[in-house]
Structure 1
């Protein structure tokens, strides 16, 4: 079972799910919609591997530095957050509880890559 998952953001998450399925052969594991019917989160598989995607990219054809990231599952978010902060990671979002039962935080590494950590296991 993996602990590291790539996360991609798209201006139109529903179109991205269909494109990744049709063009690259990924299979849809889960799609979660908001009250407005828009895709809020999706999980797609390629063999035993999984990616997650969500809305959020700007309208340009090229992603920004926040349109893709790595999600890492950890057991103790607060201890992990303290360790990262002490090591000099830029904390973008402090630890918080989600409405789907995870505890998460987000940080940037030494060159600005965005890393999300949480207890949610896809």
Structure 2
């Protein structure tokens, strides 16, 4: 599969982000690159057939949206793993059920059933 657009999130601690994102959101590790000191400076994680990239840097930004099949179960898993819920489960007028959260390093994430 050839991709053209990649979501990117910046983290001060990429390894901690990988641990959280795989545990809380169910992403799978595709590739991890470490510098000479063994610090993760780039990673690629899979969500279904799609990929997000992580890099060293200052967290924040507009956020990333990920479509999931069972958003209620996903919400509960993320909250139990320590995500800060910023928007509770909401039925949107365009047919999606969604929630928003922040990971422990402050990046915003949105999950829902909408698949444009």
Q: What TM-score does the superposition give when structure 1 sets the normalisation length?
A: 0.47
Q: State which structure, 1 or 2, has the greater radius of gyration over its C-alpha atoms.
A: 1
